[in-house]
Amino acid sequence: MKRGICGLIGRIAIGCLLASPVFASSGVVTLQVDNDGMVSSDDDHYTSGVELLWTQPVTPQHWSQRIAGGWFGSVDVLSYHLSYRMYTPEEVERRDLIEDDRPYAGLILGGLALYGREPLRGAWHREDALQLDIGVVGPMTSADSVQREVHRFTNSQRPRGWSHQLGNEPILNVGYRRHWWHNLSLGWLEMQHGPGLSAALGNLLVQAGGGYGLRLGRGLDNSMGWPSLSIERGGYRQVSTSPGSGWNLFAALQGRYVAHNLLLDGNTVRDSHSVDRRELVGDAVVGVALTWERWEMSLAHIWRSKEFEEQDGGTVHGALSLSYRL
C-alpha cells in the first residue's frame, strides 16, 4: 500500500509539472544521476540520487522578479527541480541498528531556483542563486523498496536495516549562493575563476560556507552556476542561459560550517537514530561539461570529507547530467 500511494503521488507530481504552463515555452530539460558506484565499489553514506530539472529564461515582467528584488538585481533564469535520494550506512546487510554509522534515509525534494547575473567593474561579473526546497524524508519515500529492487536487479548485497530509517518528516529549506567570476582570455581559450559564498536555512539543513571555483574552455557565458555541493544535492549543477556550443573543465574547493543536518542529527520532533555530526565539512569537485546543438552533458567526480565523528573516512561519488533544449 505504501509503495502504491507514493508511486501515485510521484506520478501526479511529475504530471502536474509537465502539464504546467512553464513547459509551454522554450527551455532546457535536464536529468541528473548521482551514484557512488560511478567512482567506487562502495554503497554507503550518500548512495544514489536522481533529479529532473526544467530551466527557462524569464522576462523583466516575470513574477519571479518581485521575489529577487530583495536578494539580487534581477532574475535571468528560473529552474524547477524534483529529486529523489537515498542514504545508508556501510554495512547494509546488517539487520540490527548500527549506532556508530549514519541513519538510513530516503529523501524527496521539489522546488525552484532563481538565477541572476550582474556585470561588475572590469572583467568581473556576479552570479546569484536563490533556491526553495519542499519535500519529505522517511518511509513515505519508499527508499527501502527502491534500494532492495535495485540490489536484486544488480545482484548486490541485500539491504536489511531499513527498519531503522528516519521517520516521516516534511521538509522546508531555503538556500542562497553568490559567486564572483573574473573573466580572462588565454588565446583561444576562456577562463573564469573566483570565490563564492553560500548559506542554507531550514529543518533539513542549516549551514554557511565558501569556496573557490574555476572554469576553463569555450562558451562559458552560455551557462550559469558553479560546482555547488550540499547535503541534498550530490553533484555539479549548472543551468543554461542561451543556446550555443562549447565545453569547459571545472573544479572547485568548498568548506562549510554545518549547524544542523537532519540526515545525521535525526528527526526534529521524534526520537530516531542519529550520529555525532561534524561541524566543519569540506568538498572538492572536478569535471567536464560539453554543449553541442541542443544537447548538454556534464560529468563530475566529487570528494567529501568526513561528516560525522564515527565515519571511517571521506566519501566519493560521481554525477552525470544530460540536458536537451526544447
Do residues 99 and 273 touch, judged by C-beta distance below 8 A? yes
Do residues 23 and 56 touch, judged by C-beta distance below 8 A? no
What backbone phi and psi angles, to 5 degrees, belong to 6?
A: -65, -40
Q: What is the pLDDT of residues 118-129, one digit of tens each?
A: 999 999 999 998
pLDDT of residue 20: 44
**Contacts with 170 (C-beta within 8 Å, 6 or more apart), sequence order:** 134, 135, 136
pLDDT of residue 195: 95
Q: What is the pLDDT of residues 152-181, one digit of tens each?
A: 777 777 888 999 999 999 999 999 989 999
pLDDT of residue 5: 37
Instruction: Copy the grid coordinates of residue 48.
Output: 544514489
pLDDT of residue 90: 87
pLDDT of residue 163: 93
pLDDT of residue 45: 55
The pTM of the full predicted model, rounded to 2 decimals, is: 0.86
pLDDT of residue 238: 66
DSSP secondary structure of 47-95: EEEEEEEEEEE--TTSTHHHHHTTTSS---EEEEEEEEEEEE-S-TT--
Pairing of strands 105-119, 239-240: unpaired
pLDDT of residue 237: 61
Give pLDDT < 50 ranges for the chain. 1-24, 39, 234-235
